[in-house]
Chain A
Amino acid sequence: MKKRMFWIITLIASICVFSGFWALYSVVAEQYAQNAITNEKFLVRNANLHFDLLAASRNQLLAEMEPEPASFLQDARAAAGDTFRYALFVDPDGTVLWAEGQHLPGDFTATIFYETLYYSYGDPMSEIALSDGTIHLQTGQVLDDGSVALLGTTIDGFLSQTMEGFGERWLGFFYGAHDDFTSDAAFARESRAQLSALFLKSMNSQRPESTMLNADGVRSIFTTVPLYDADRWDVKAYLGLLTPYSFWGQGLSQIRAWITVVSLLSALLSLLLLSFFFFPRQAEASLERNTVQKPLLKGFLAFLPAVLLALLFFSVHIPRNLEQTTEDSWSIAAEQVVSHYTENAAWITSDLDENLRQMKKTSGNDITVYRNGQVERSTISDRMLKRLSAEQPLVRTAKYEIGNVEINRVQQKSLSFSVGDRRFLLTRDVTDMNNTVLSLQFYGVGLVVILLLASLMFAFLLANIGNPVKIKKAAIGYAFLAPALIHLVWWAAGPMAFSLFLAFRRWSVVDPAKPFVGLGNFAELLRDGPFWNALKNTALYSLHVPLGMAVSLLLAMAVNKAGKVAILLRVLYYLPVVTAGVATTIVWRWIFNRDFGMLNYFLGFFGISKIAWLDSPQFALGAIMLISIWGALGSQMLIFLAGLQGIPKEFYDAASVDGANKFRGFRYITLPLLKPTSLFVLVTSVIGSFQVFTPIYVLTQGGPLRSTDVVFYHIWEAAWVEMRMGYAAAQSWVLFLLLALLTVLEFRMFGKDSWKAYK
Chain B
Amino acid sequence: MKKNVLFVALLVLLLVLSATLFAKTQLRVTTWAGGEEAALDEAIIAEFMAQNPEYEVIYEPVSSNYYQKILTDIGAGTPPDVVLLDAEMVPRYVEGDFLTDLNPFLNRLARENVAGADLDGFFPVLVDIFRSGRSLYAIPKDTSPVGVFYNKVMFDELGVPYPPEEGWTWEEFEETARLLSVDKDGDGQNDTWGFSFPSWVGVMVPLLWAGGGEIFDADFSHVEGYLNSETNLETFNYFWDLLQKGYAPDPQEASALGGASPLFYTSRIGMIITGRWFNISVKNQIAQGANIRLGAATLPLKDIDNKETVTYASGWAVPSNVADKQGAIKLAAWLGSEYAQRKRCLEGGLAISAQQSIAELQASSDAVDKVFISMLDFARVPPGSQTKFYRPKFEETWAEAFDRIYVAGNTVKEAFDWAAQTMEEFIELGEY
A-side interface residues toward B, CB under 8 Å?
A: 203-206, 228, 231-234, 381-384, 508-511, 593-597, 612, 615-617, 703-706, 720-721, 723
Contact = CB atoms under 8 A, between A and B. Distances in A.
A595 B407 contact: no
A616 B68 CA distance: 30
Interface string B251-269: 0110111000000000000
Interface string B82-115: 0000000000000010101101100110000000
Contact of B65 (A233, A383, A720): A720
Interface residues of B, number: 34
Contact of B325 (A204, A383, A593): A204
Given A705-B403, A705-B404, A612 B430 contact: no
Contacts of A721: 392
Which of B103, B252, B408 has the largest number of chain A CB atoms within 10 A?
B252
B201 interface: no
Contact of B407 (A204, A234, A594, A617): A617
Nearest to A200: B326
Contacts of B107: 231, 233-234
B253 A595 contact: yes
8 contacts: A206-B325, A234-B108, A510-B71, A594-B256, A615-B407, A616-B407, A704-B403, A723-B68
Interface of B: 65, 68, 71-72, 74-75, 96, 98, 100-101, 103-104, 107-108, 134, 252-253, 255-257, 321, 323-326, 392, 399-400, 403-404, 407-408, 429-430
A290 to B, nearest CB: 53
Contacts of B75: 508-510
Contacts of A382: 430
A510 B74 contact: yes
B253 A206 contact: no
Contact of A703 (B257, B392, B403): B403
B324 A204 contact: yes
A612 B253 CA distance: 9
B104 A206 contact: yes
Nearest to B392: A721
A643 B111 CA distance: 80
Contact of B101 (A206, A597, A616): A206
Contact of A593 (B256, B407, B429): B256
Contacts of A234: 104, 107-108
Given A616-B407, A704-B403, A595 B71 contact: no
Nearest to B400: A705
A132 B103 CA distance: 31
B405 to A, nearest CB: 11
A383 B429 CA distance: 7
A509 B324 contact: no
Contacts of B98: 510
Nearest to A354: B133
B96 A509 contact: no
B56 to A, nearest CB: 18
A595 B74 contact: no
A161 B278 CA distance: 64
A663 B395 CA distance: 57
B196 to A, nearest CB: 16
Contacts of A594: 252-253, 255-256
A721 B66 CA distance: 11
A381 B95 CA distance: 11
A596 B256 contact: yes
Given A205-B321, A595-B257, 5 more contacts: A203-B326, A206-B100, A206-B325, A384-B430, A594-B253
A41 B430 CA distance: 30
A510 B429 contact: no
Contacts of A703: 399, 403
A232 B65 contact: no
Contacts of A510: 71, 74-75, 96, 98
A386 B286 CA distance: 57
Contacts of B65: 720
A721 B65 CA distance: 9
A599 to B, nearest CB: 12
Contacts of B326: 203-204
B68 A720 contact: yes
**Closest 10 interchain pairs by CB?**
A383-B430, A595-B256, A594-B256, A204-B325, A509-B75, A510-B75, A233-B107, A233-B104, A612-B252, A705-B403
Contacts of B324: 204
A617 B108 contact: no
B194 to A, nearest CB: 20
Contacts of A511: 96
Contacts of B255: 594, 615
A616 B409 CA distance: 12
Nearest to A595: B256
Contacts of B400: 705-706
